[in-house]
Structure 1
């Protein structure tokens, strides 16, 4: 398995797994093997020059480049012209994402903030922005210490809030650079193998009861091809990879929320509490109850009730998409405003109500088109559209072809 990729640790810090952020210095002086990152990080390159691959794209990176790596991104340094010296900030994605969404209502006409980090992972800083980024990195270092020095920091009051605000500023700067200047290093290669996106897709959709059948329909590949790719890249079977990801996400929830095991099972895709307990014990060599008692809640994260409701809203839409749903009817059902409903959906799926509902409906329609001989009118009504015209319009918008063309041209790849 020459292409086998390594897994980076799920924790931000190996010194203290309860930390939501860590800082360190690192150096790369030769090409690396592919590496899947289970926790996100920012890399600020101080010196050097190299060709750096993030998932499917290859960038030329060097001094003053800032890289944003998200959970289950695969990175690889394919060539080093000058050794890369950089500062690195690792952080807990779920904590920071929840914090951002609790204070921000994204403009519905714009790409959500965290989605921008996924679309554009590398930027080059100008002189003004460089000073801002250096100041933020320095403040993070002062607050959390240097990981490789094994420093046990005495945290000041409001430590978590302060760290989160620093990370929020860093993310804001990154997004502003994308919006205002688009100072993005040259992409050195054409869009690569789209299979590289499979692992992140799995991680982002764990609560949807992920299966090989679902992946096959999403990526238009056979189940055996997907299984083979995952094994070649990770050394794990599909089910082993699922459990690895689910345990990673479970740990975050155990540390930062008071969700019950039944609620956790639904959120991360387990059958029930017994299932989550069995998998956790096997992977972590510890009972899930013991783990929670040992580490407790690392943070007293607020809005737990609201967070639970967010998952109930997503689950409701996924199960009832074929009904005659409107944004107002769903908001009324959960006793929230339309603004709050869209904020929930932007937080969880990066789409507003109608965009998400259309996506779910069209995805189901694609399954019918590939797997059945159902009439297109029946499919349109079956997935929740009142008219074929509305169905066709939304289908073309999302799939860039009409339903008939999709049925005739799209097949499962072996």
Structure 2
């Protein structure tokens, strides 16, 4: 395997100067093509000058002046060709903190795509004049508040600094989503049409609490375990387990900095076996005991009374364990003694779906396993995953898989 095939990993911190920061600002220039890069922290790029072909996961975009790019955790980017040197402003931010804040104040309409999901589906837009003026003002305010990262000057922040930068990033996300709704920039080229492999790493990161395994990935992407392992090794230079530990440590650091979760609670959230497991992996990766790290950096931030989310994980776990039962939003809300609004907020925060969308996805995913791995009758599968009628099962299956259960069984097989 040639080294140039391995993608680089960008730092998990928003700032190399101060790891406690939740946002940073800088200028960057790209004047030649780059190697693939996986981003552990999200960022917005606002292009001031230049023209280049910019790959985000599987889609290739032609980006230029007035383009705004949204790159999420474990997105893979690569500049394929530079026609004119690309000059842009870059804002990095802490995904967990900003996502938590957004979900604590926003209730999505049923059937509408969650806000943060829109950043994933459409990562590049071209700003109109009005949106461009708004973005330039917000980027300028963030620069004034956090300073310029490359200047390496430590800023003294005024009170409520964290609240201000979080709300400014939220404004960028709002403008981005509004422009996305009206102005989708269609990719010029698909790198590998229909090939889902570039999405594997982000999927792993977003589902760490599910105790991710190669078996689960194989069923999700309909690929053999060996082909997934080979792809991960070729792209990252890491084995599947090494990559898992890299992602888990990244997410653990966020929770150590911004919550007071116990190690046992963190183990469940991030996909470790127990507190001893999380301590061992963290110490090996960071050359420091987890307790020492928390004493040094822990609990540095309480942004606008962002609520702790221990119960949220219990709700997700409850649905995953009981999806085959006669669950309703009311019954789950009653089980946890919360309102329907609080239930949907919790699920939007953790899985970016409301109750019914998440329940249906869980049931259909399990049904896909049965269809591939067993000879069970479709009626039995429908009842086994929690649907009262085959008609309801079939309707939900078609909505999510764009084919009937029978077509899925006949046409879908594991890729080698």
TM-score, length of structure 2 as denominator length: 0.97
Following the alignment from structure 1 to structure 2, what is the Cα–Cα distance between the partners of residues 7 and 166?
Answer: 27
Check if 1:64 corresponds to 2:66. yes
Hey, what does 1:184 align to over in structure 2?
185
Is 1:359 the counterpart of 2:350? The answer is no
Taking the TM superposition and a 5 Å limit, the aligned residue runs for 1:87-126 are: 87-126=89-128
Separation (CA, whole Å) in 1 of partners of 2:306 and 2:89: 34
Q: Distance in 2 between matches of 1:405 and 1:170?
A: 42
Report SS of the residue matched to 1:77: strand
Q: Distance in 2 between matches of 1:152 and 1:190?
A: 41
2:205 maps to 1:215:
no
CA RMSD of aligned residues (A): 1.3
Residue in 2 that maps onto 1:152: 154
Give the stretch that moved more between structures: 126-135 or 73-82: 126-135
Q: Give the C-alpha shift of residue 188 in structure 1.
A: 3.3
Q: Is the 8 A contact 1:318 1:360 kept in 2?
A: yes
Residue 342 of structure 1 is matched in structure 2 by 344
Is residue 195 of structure 1 aligned with residue 165 of structure 2?
no
Q: CA separation in 1, counterparts of 2:391 and 2:187? A: 42
User: What secondary structure, in the 3-state scheme, does the structure 2 residue paired with 1:10 have?
Assistant: coil
Q: Contact 2:104–2:306 (CA<8 Å) still a contact in 1?
A: no
Deviation of 1:392 after TM superposition, in Å, equals 1.7
Cα distance between partner residues in 2 of 1:14 and 1:190:
32
- Cα distance, 1:186 vs structure 2: 4.8
| Cα contact 2:101–2:306 (8 A) shared by 1 | no
SS at match of 1:406: helix
The whole-number CA distance in structure 1 between the counterparts of 2:28 and 2:133 is: 20
* Offset of residue 389 of structure 1: 2.1
State whether residues 381 and 387 of structure 1, in contact with CA within 8 Å, keep that contact through their aligned partners in structure 2: yes
Compare 229-238 and 332-341 and name the one that shifted more.
332-341
Give how far 1:184 is off.
Answer: 2.0
1:161-210 deviations in Å (ceiling 9; x for gaps)? 00001001111111111123x15265234664320000000000000010
Structure 1 position 375, deviation (Å) = 2.0
> Which residue is 2:374 aligned to?
372
CA distance in 2 between partners of 1:91 and 1:343 (Å): 22
Native 8 Å contact 2:44 2:68 kept in 1: yes
Give, in whole Å, the separation in 1 of the partners of 2:396 and 2:41.
Answer: 35
Q: Shift in Å at residue 394 of structure 1?
A: 1.4
For 1:36, the equivalent position in structure 2 comes to: 38
- Residue 270 of structure 2, aligned match among 268, 274, 288: 268
For this pair of structures, how many residues does the alignment match?
413
Unpaired stretches in structure 1, ≥5 consecutive residues: none
- Which region of structure 1 is more displaced relative to structure 2, 99-108 or 152-161? 99-108
SS at match of 2:68: strand
User: 1:306: Cα distance to partner?
Assistant: 4.9
Secondary structure of residue in 2 paired with 1:11: coil
- CA deviations on 1:306-328 (whole Å, 9 max, x unpaired) are 51111110010001111111111
Please report the TM-score for the alignment, with normalisation by the length of structure 1.
0.97
Asked whether the equivalents of residues 163 and 303 of structure 2 are also in contact (C-alpha less than 8 Å), the reply is: no
| Distance of 1:183 and 1:342 partners within structure 2 | 27
Q: Is residue 250 of structure 1 aligned with residue 249 of structure 2?
A: no
Alignment correspondent of 2:239: 237
Contact 1:257 1:304 in 2 (8 A): no
